[in-house]
Amino acid sequence: MKPLDPRLLRQARAARGYVALTAALGFLTAALVVAQAILLAAVLAPAVQGTASLDDVARPLGLLAAVVVARAATSWAQERFALRAATRTVAELREQVVAHAAALGPRWLASGRGPEVATLATRGLDALEPYLVRYLPQLLLAATVTPAALALVLGLDWVSAVVIAVTIPLVPLFMVLVGQLTQGTSERRLVVMQRLGAQVLDLLAGLPTLLALGRARGPERRVRALGDANRRATMGTLRVAFLSGMVLELLTTLSVAVVAVGVGLRLVHGGMDLEPAIAVLVLAPEVYLPLRQVGTHFHASTDGIAAAHQAFAVLDEPAPETGRRPAPRLAGSTLTLAGVGVRAGERDVLAPAGLDLVLRVGDGSPGRGGDAARVPGGRVVALTGTSGAGKTTATLVLLGLVRPDHGTVTWTSSDGVRVPLDEIDPTTYWPQVAWLPQRPTLPPGTLREAVTDGRDVDETTLARASATAGLDDVVAGLPHGWDTPVGRGGTGLSVGQRQRAALAAALLGDPARTPLVVLDEPTAHLDARGEQVVLDAVRTWRDQGRTVVVVAHRTSLVRAADEVVDVAAAGTADALTVHRTEAAA
């Protein structure tokens, strides 16, 4: 990353005003540094020589006190606004990374980037704060204070100015040398941290399965090894930072000492007056200080710079274009999947392959029958097939979360207007669909808030929905009932309890507003009683006139369906050949 990457200003609006404010404060600091040196020399020189009384130096002494106070206030303002801007900038980047990763879709996240994005959007981008709070202000001070102080030294003593001009390029030279080494170490540390985060997330997600199989003790060695690698990478970064900091301190100290020796010798031989000598001695450390601080804080910001690199890499990923047409009313419309095929990861397989489905969405009233080739409102469609055939992917295509590699998905409104699904704004489409994935997530808050989604639901309706979903027994066993706090994603509830809460939330939905219900293996984590709960919920939705699309493995769900669609996978070449043959016929 460049010292001030333009992409940071483009992506984070909070950083733009902050950079402008920091530049203005940098110019003010440069003026105060120059004024402080001149006034300090004007006060000390007469006092040392004994040529002035206290009344003579009272005015410059008062001005010096004012300058010191102004410089302290400037530093305070810089620190305060830096912390605010850093918080806002990190929040903006985090929001953009998460939103763009979601726009890239489940297939991109499933390619192994999901855990990396999770680590980057949490701990990774937090490391950007030292860059904005410490490194960037010192960088701008080096561009303002150093030239201003050097210009004043040149006006006071050209010999000292030459010494500073010769030695000062050594500081950035050493900064570049040690900075490159530190940046590489930080990038490796971020990669190790992301691997550790991905390993821990996978372990937590699969912990119930590992416990059931008696393999819960196995992955701990891998996590411990990644933790040790992260520790070694962190210590390596700190080691380089401390050593490079010592080099910069030694270099600047020797440079100031050379200036001081030259000034002292000329004072002894009478070749220089005391007042400019004091001013030069005060200004010499100020010339080197911003550059020295840049080198010191650069090492504290390298983790953030590496994280910003990866954030920009995610944002640079081309996202599929999404339509901007508002979605028509879903009730009474028809969704048509024609020859839909989706490539399964990097394999030469389409799952599903050549899927054809005409899905007529219910209108919120009980179905009245219809053409056998269509699915009337108030009916249940079951997607079946072997494991890996692409049943879940088919539902993601239906929801507009995955764009098919082959085939088309068309939305025909109730008045006969045909629109490709990928041209419709998903934010106007998704509110009309109730989706229950295999592992539903719940918003944080109380259980009542998670189920009602902030809607005003009377107790009778809530009790009826919770009884149908089997949530009433769960509520009765919780310490605070409906007021039991639920963490983000449903933390505090088991997978089965989350499914029942999600079922109850879907049952509370208005059939006219959410006429389509999509279920992805809803009985996967439930026992026989939980399976019966799902069956009751599916029948309730059908009775409400909704269309239910369910990925079914168990026989009970298949038997409850009005139509069964077999989903199959095939090799890419075979699937395309069959599809072309059918199209030609």
Domain spans, the chain = 6-315, 334-584
Identical fold, 6-315 and 334-584 = no
Better-predicted residue by pLDDT, 582 or 260: 260
**How much is the pLDDT for 581?**
41
pLDDT at residue 26 greater than cutoff 80? no
100-108 own/partner pairs: CB under 8 Å, 24+ apart: 100/314, 100/315, 100/317, 100/319, 101/314, 103/319, 103/320, 103/322, 104/317, 104/319, 104/320, 105/320, 105/401, 105/402, 105/403, 106/396, 106/401, 106/402, 107/342, 107/345, 107/402, 108/317
pLDDT at residue 108 greater than cutoff 80? no
Where does the pLDDT of residue 273 fall: very low under 50, low under 70, confident under 90, or very high at 90 and above? confident
Cα→Cα distances 421→299, 306, 328, 404, Å: 49, 38, 11, 11
Where does the pLDDT of residue 556 fall: very low under 50, low under 70, confident under 90, or very high at 90 and above? confident
**How much is the pLDDT for 585?**
41
- Distance from C-alpha of 453 to C-alpha of 459, rounded to nearest angstrom: 15
- Distance from C-alpha of 525 to C-alpha of 518, rounded to nearest angstrom: 17
**How much is the pLDDT for 88?**
82
CB–CB of 57/47 below 8 Å? yes
- Residue 375 φ/ψ region, left for φ over 0, alpha for ψ in the -120 to 50 degree band, beta for the rest: beta
520 strand-pairing partners: 551
**How much is the pLDDT for 112?**
63
> What share of the chain has pLDDT > 70, as a percent?
76
pLDDT at residue 222 greater than cutoff 60? yes
Where does the pLDDT of residue 576 fall: very low under 50, low under 70, confident under 90, or very high at 90 and above? very low
Least confident residue range of 182-191, 251-260, 424-433 = 182-191
**How much is the pLDDT for 368?**
44
- The 10s digit of each residue's pLDDT in 310-331 is 788 888 877 766 556 777 788 8
- Distance from C-alpha of 37 to C-alpha of 108, rounded to nearest angstrom: 59
Rounded to an integer, the average pLDDT of 34-41 is 83
Better-predicted residue by pLDDT, 522 or 584: 522
Least confident residue range of 45-49, 59-63, 429-433, 576-580 = 576-580
Where does the pLDDT of residue 189 fall: very low under 50, low under 70, confident under 90, or very high at 90 and above? low
Rounded to an integer, the average pLDDT of 106-112 is 67
**How much is the pLDDT for 114?**
66
Where does the pLDDT of residue 347 fall: very low under 50, low under 70, confident under 90, or very high at 90 and above? low
Least confident residue range of 6-15, 189-198, 227-236, 483-492 = 189-198
Rounded to an integer, the average pLDDT of 292-305 is 69
Better-predicted residue by pLDDT, 572 or 497: 497
- The 10s digit of each residue's pLDDT in 375-426 is 445 789 999 988 888 888 888 888 888 888 888 888 888 888 888 888 888 8
Better-predicted residue by pLDDT, 273 or 54: 273
pLDDT at residue 580 greater than cutoff 60? no
Homologous superfamily (CATH) for 6-315: ABC transporter type 1, transmembrane domain (1.20.1560.10)
**How much is the pLDDT for 24?**
82
**How much is the pLDDT for 107?**
67
**How much is the pLDDT for 583?**
43
- Topology of domain 334-584 in CATH is Rossmann fold (3.40.50)
The Cβ of residue 277 has, within 10 Å, a number of other Cβ atoms equal to 21
**How much is the pLDDT for 369?**
42
pLDDT at residue 345 greater than cutoff 60? yes
**How much is the pLDDT for 413?**
82
- Apex 144 CA angle, 141 and 15, nearest 5: 55
CB–CB of 141/26 below 8 Å? yes
Better-predicted residue by pLDDT, 35 or 530: 35
What rounded mean pLDDT belongs to the chain? 77
Give 516's DSSP letter. E
